[in-house]
Structure formats: C-alpha cells, structure tokens
Amino acid sequence: MLHIRGLTKAYGEHEVLRGVNLEAKAGEIVGLLGPNGAGKTTLVSIVAGLRRADAGHATVAGIDALAHPERARAVLGLAPQELGIYPVLSVEQNLGFFAELSGLTGKKLRGRVANVAEALDLTELLRQKAGTLSGGQKRRLHTAMALVNEPTVLFLDEPTVGADVRTRNQILEVVRQRAATGCAIVYTSHYLTEIEDLGATVAVLEAGRIIARGPLADLVAEHGSPALRLTFEGSAPALDGFEIAGSVATLLTPDPAHAAAMILGHLNGSTERLRSVDIVRPSLEAAYLALTGRRSNEDATAKTEEVIDELVA
C-alpha cells in the first residue's frame, strides 16, 4: 500500500531526510519512531503532499504521491500532531468538510460522518461547536477527520499527545479496527507502550535515515538490553556509567539484579533519597535507546563490571 524509496529533503545545508526507504503492507501498522528532529513529520508531510521532496519516490495504493498529490490525497488520511479542527464549525461540519475534500457527497457523505462519529464516541456532540469541546474530544475529532474518507493509507502523527486515558484507548481501538479492514497505517509516537499495544512493526528513523526496521519482537531480541533504574527524591546523583534524566538514573546491564545488589550498598549519602529500584526487562524502550545512541549490549556488559568494581572498591 505504501512504498517509499530514496526520499530526500534538505533545508539549505541541513539534510532532514537522507534516502529514506519504507514500506507498509495492507493491514500493517508501522510504528515510526525517532527522536525530535529525526525527520518523522517531514516524511509524513511529503507523502501527504504538504511539502516537496528533493528526490526519491513515494507511491500510495499504486498512485505516485509526488507526481499526483491530489489523487493520492483521495486515498490518504492524515492527522498531524497539531490539531487542525475549525473551532467555529460544529463537529458535524468539520467532518463533512473533510469528507467533501475527499469527493464524498450526499448520502455517502452523511453515512461516513455518522460511522466515524460513532467509532470515536462523537455522535452526541455532532451539533456542538468544535471550539467548545474538551481536549480529549478535540483530539478524537481531529483523528475522525483523518478517517472520514475511509483511507487505504493512514498517517497518524502523535495522535494521543495530551489525550486522557479514555481518548487514548478509543483512538488505539479505532487504529486496530482500521488495520483489520486492510488499511496500512503509519503511526508516530513517543509513547513506546502504544506501539507495543498495537502489535505494530517498527521503523526507527535517526538523523534522516531508517536505521532499523522489522517486527517488534525481532528488534527487542536483537537490540534490547535489561536495565537497572534508580529513582531518587530530587535530582539523581552523578553515578558513573548511569544515564541521568532528572530524578532517574539508568544503567543498561544484562544482569540488573546483580548490579543492584552490588551498587545499592555504595550510594553513600544518596541512599536516604532513594525512592524506588526497578529492574527493566528487555523491551522496545531498551531497544530504542540502544539504537539511537546509547551503549550496545556488549558495551553495557563491560561498563557494568567497571561501575560495580569502582563502587565496591
């Protein structure tokens, strides 16, 4: 359904995309991951016809999306990260407007609006102005606008940012339902548990290139590493070998239980500020951290021994 080959984009001297290749099959959910600035939004925007590529190819359901963006948009759905609703229009008018942009009219348009409103629990809100909705309701409407044309390829860019638990669960369920009908979905998120919940395959975009691609279980098996995570009251102390993020200190290690047993007795004055000790098993988060610049499993093993030796000495 989606074929991207050699896609490049630069702004002056800054290369945002550097020969990106990506495919998504019918019914596949692709979790597109990467740090801020990796090029995720640029990639999605180019395929959706919102920006021009410098080079490369992209086809959507057999349509050349770069040469014929208007034709591609008829089979595409896009929910960018920033809300794109019209606050002075009602929920129904917002949905109807985007249905019209896809070429829907009359009974078919009304049916699509009703169906997507029911799927995202918006039926009782159809007459309400979008600007008066709660944050979660606006996020559901935003997603519904991307779904109203029943696209064959769907791009969702951080669809649950700022959403409450109920909205998050509703959006994830609708994503599963759309994939079950054969829709190919590219789902970008910083919430890695959502990718796991969706059973998505994974593509990791780093500095404008896809650096890893495949089933989630395969990436975790190849790149994931267990970790020891210490949470302190206040800022975490500067522990040699640990990654420090605010109050949390994390050590990638193949044997976090052994590391904990050896390290906890040697925190000195920081012991009384320790609030929790967590052993993180191999996961998508661990694989992602390793792929995007953290130590490899082999390096983590060696570093763990160095840290333990230094603290115990």
Does the pLDDT of residue 300 top 70, yes or no?
Answer: no
Does the pLDDT of residue 312 top 80, yes or no?
Answer: no
Within a 10 A sphere around the Cβ of 254, how many other Cβ atoms?
15
Residues 203-239 have pLDDT tens digits of 999 999 999 999 998 998 888 878 888 999 999 998 8
Could you tell me if 87 and 131 are in contact, meaning their C-beta atoms sit under 8 angstroms apart? yes
Could you tell me if 283 and 224 are in contact, meaning their C-beta atoms sit under 8 angstroms apart? yes
Q: Output the six-digit token pair for 101.
A: 């942009």
Burial degree of 38 (CB within 10 A; 0-12, 13-18, 19+): buried
Burial degree of 238 (CB within 10 A; 0-12, 13-18, 19+): exposed
Q: Of 291, 77, 101, whose CA–CA distance to 187 is shortest? A: 77
Q: Which CATH number fits domain 2-219: 3.20.20.140, 2.40.30.10, 3.40.50.300, 2.60.98.20?
A: 3.40.50.300
Which residue has 């074929």 as its token pair?
3
Q: Of 228, 223, 231, whose CA–CA distance to 285 is shortest? A: 223
Would you place residue 297 in the very low, low, confident or very high pLDDT band (cuts 50, 70, 90)? very low
- Boundaries of every domain in the chain: 2-219, 224-312
* Mean local confidence (pLDDT), 259-277: 87
Residues 16-68 have pLDDT tens digits of 999 999 999 999 999 999 888 889 999 999 999 999 999 999 999 999 999 99
Residue 225: predicted pLDDT:
76
Could you tell me if 206 and 38 are in contact, meaning their C-beta atoms sit under 8 angstroms apart? yes
Could you tell me if 72 and 63 are in contact, meaning their C-beta atoms sit under 8 angstroms apart? yes
Q: How far apart are CA 74 and CA 25, in angstroms?
A: 18
